[in-house]
Amino acid sequence: MQIHKHQKMKYLNIFFLFVIFNLKVLAQPVYPLIPFPEEVTIGDKLFRISPQTNILAEPKLEQELKYLKSYILENHLFVVNTSAKINNRIVLRLKTDSNSNPEAYQITSNPREIIIEASHPSGIFYGIQTLIQLFPTGKFGSIKIPCVQINDKPNYTWRGMHLDCSRHFFPISFIKKYIDMLAYYKMNSFHWHLTDDQGWRIEIKKYPKLTEIGSVRKGTMIGHYRDQKYDSIAYGGFYTQKEIKEVIEYAQKRHVNIVPEIEMPGHAVAALAAYPEYSCSQKPCEVSIKWGVETNVFCPSEETFAFLEDVLNEIMDLFPGKYIHIGGDEVPKEEWNNSAFCQQLMKEQKLKNAEELQSYFIRRVEKIIQKKGKTMIGWDEILEGGLAPNAVVMSWRGTEGGIAAAKMNHYVIMTPGSHCYFDHYQGKPESEPLAIGGYTPLEKVYQFKVCPDTLNETESKFILGAQGNVWTEYIKTSEQVEYMAMPRMAALAEVLWSQSSKRDYANFLARLKSQEPYLKNKKINYSKTSL
């Protein structure tokens, strides 16, 4: 059959159209948006941000306005709002929609105007974070970003990261950098692990020995625990209350709430080295130099509760947030079982065993916290022997503790070792720096199911969200914290923010790769193991 000439042309045209269409699809840049917004349209047109751009906001959004202006100045080296032109502006606007999620936001834009709207300053802040993720890295003088239409909101309200500053101590400058990393990924909770057997890291005015004695250990384990080797170099450090206030203010500006953790009744050897009178044996002891679980714990005496009340009151006066973490994990019962005082107390209080004594301890502490109108959080061991009436449970030994607590109508934060322990290996141990053990690669974190299927709809409402934990026995430097936390925290951030139906690992990886220039520019020592 012979094809007519004009028919041939037609086929050719269709072929070219097909090629052009595909080239366009292929050429579409991957935007480094993590967590990925719920609804997003990226247009062809561009908006140029330059010194002449006006950024406008009502007085209630003064802090967010300042944040955006100084972000542009610090990262792109120019000052905005230098002219009164009205055809190039960014508007931050609060809507009066009291029903909407306070962290939700919308962005609408065209080449003349970008509008970020939300019902609450935190939503505006997240809109700004999305905008910032669209900024090109390392461009100065003026920048161009695509005109986007975005409608976005988080899936979970608790999106957290933890950092252990007891096993190793990290300077305030790094804590701020860590908070910046959280904010960039729209995480809103920083769990600051401030005390443990190996060091007490926060100034308490009424008990100066906590830091004078409790913040310094005589040595540290070398290599892995199984090697049982130590150095004898004094190791210490603590945060003054003045420094803590500075960090709190810094975090508030980034809509990050800080949850301080003061460990009790176990993981308290540093405190007991300073004040041995609060242990059952009352024998002098030293700040631990080895990792693991110690048998020396707080004694449930009235003197101990008076001491803990004083300490917690200083903590609660300092930290404005609603939640106080009291630890509660890994409490060996030997000391209590061998103590005549504890046996007598158990009789008086009609406590059947040491687990119930632990529960008695935690309930007493919860009363101290409730007096100040705050809410107590504890690791899942606080379920043993009966849960304190209003306690929030952090489920770390799997999700079972969280499931049990949710079924009892208690709020839960999921942090199972299987998916949320960023001190575990993220690649083959042979090619990774020494870590505690475990294997939690990036993809596994990305596949984390925050809310277990076994919970029904009502019970599921008690799952507030999840948190990544960075325990630092094997993490000596800030760079190493970054390596272990990133990019796993980016994966967890997306798990917590984006709808599960929209998640796609390959797509996440592509967006993560397009974020590398930003991470390098910010000198974040992220791991490339999974990239």
**Contact pattern for ligand TNX over residues 7 through 36, marking x by CB under 6 A:** ------------------------------
Coil, strand or helix at 162: strand
- What residues are labeled active site? 196, 267, 330
**Whole-number minimum distance, CB 324 to ligand TNX, in Å?**
16
Q: Which is nearer to ligand TNX, 127 or 266 (CB)?
A: 266
Q: Which is nearer to ligand TNX, 397 or 503 (CB)?
A: 397
Cα–Cα dist 94/97, whole Å: 9
Contact 182, 161 (CB under 8 A): yes
Residue type for position 75: N
Q: Which is nearer to ligand TNX, 274 or 377 (CB)?
A: 377
- The reply to whether 261 sits near ligand TNX by the rule CB under 6 A is no
**Whole-number minimum distance, CB 435 to ligand TNX, in Å?**
9
Q: Which is nearer to ligand TNX, 310 or 329 (CB)?
A: 329
Neighbours of 226 (CB within 10 A): 7
Cα–Cα dist 328/429, whole Å: 31
Size of the site for ligand TNX (CB under 6 A): 9
From 319, 421, 446, 497, residue interacting with ligand TNX (rule: CB under 6 A): 421
Q: Which is nearer to ligand TNX, 171 or 292 (CB)?
A: 292
Q: Which is nearer to ligand TNX, 437 or 517 (CB)?
A: 437
**Whole-number minimum distance, CB 379 to ligand TNX, in Å?**
4
Cα–Cα dist 144/131, whole Å: 11
**Contact pattern for ligand TNX over residues 323 through 342, marking x by CB under 6 A:** ------xx------------
- The reply to whether 379 sits near ligand TNX by the rule CB under 6 A is yes
**Whole-number minimum distance, CB 403 to ligand TNX, in Å?**
17
Q: Which of 411, 413, 412, 434 is nearest to 424 (CA)?
A: 434
**Contact pattern for ligand TNX over residues 431 through 470, marking x by CB under 6 A:** -----x----------------------------------
**Whole-number minimum distance, CB 328 to ligand TNX, in Å?**
8
Cα–Cα dist 269/193, whole Å: 15
Which residues fall within 8 angstroms of residue 506, CB to CB, at 6 or more apart? none
Stated as kind and residue range, the H or E segment containing 361 is helix 354-371
**Whole-number minimum distance, CB 423 to ligand TNX, in Å?**
5
From 396, 425, 474, 497, residue interacting with ligand TNX (rule: CB under 6 A): 396
Cα–Cα dist 439/471, whole Å: 15
The pairing of beta strand 105-110 with beta strand 143-152: antiparallel
- The reply to whether 289 sits near ligand TNX by the rule CB under 6 A is no
Give the alpha-carbon dihedral of 57, 60, 65, 67, to 10 degrees. Answer: -170
| ∠ Cα 405 409 410 (to 5°) | 55
Neighbours of 281 (CB within 10 A): 14
Q: Which residues bind ligand TNX (CB under 6 A)?
A: 329-330, 379, 396, 421, 423, 436, 471, 473
